[in-house]
Amino acid sequence: MPPGRWKSADHPAIEEVAIDDVLHALADPTRRRIVRTLLADGDRPCGTFDLDVAASTLSHHFKALRKAGIIRQFDVGRQRMNTLRLDELGTRFPGLVDSVLALPEPEPPNP
């Protein structure tokens, strides 16, 4: 990514990322789906995730992932892009994200 594209003021430095914040962010199934989608597909604009939540709720989830140091967001034209910080997180907390994402998702409750 070319310099100047990152909105660095909104992202914690990796040495400031706390394991509690990462685990709290990844405890939410919607956020794990976002991370899994980014892992499978690479960088994606906010509006392209196939999740059954309101746009405002999705924005909240992106903010939580960004504040926890899991994703970076940057603007390309009029689109807000999302990218995983896997290399940085892997250095700070080796194996953590892989371990969390390796867990099976719980089955949704039957009505």
Residue whose token pair is 């059954």 = 52
pTM over 0.75: yes
Q: Which CATH number applies to 8-102: 1.10.10.10, 3.40.50.1370, 2.40.340.10, 3.40.309.10?
A: 1.10.10.10
Q: What is the DSSP letter of 88?
A: H
Pairwise CA distance, residues 110 & 26, whole Å: 23
Question: Is the pLDDT score of 4 beyond 80?
Answer: no
* pLDDT score at 109: 62
Render pLDDT for 40-85 as a digit per residue (tens, 0 to 9).
Answer: 999 999 999 989 899 999 999 999 999 999 999 999 888 999 999 9
Residue of higher predicted confidence among 106 and 83? 83
Pairwise CA distance, residues 96 & 50, whole Å: 25
* pLDDT score at 104: 83
> Within a 10 A sphere around the Cβ of 34, how many other Cβ atoms?
25
Is 24 in contact with 30 (CB distance < 8 Å)? Answer: no
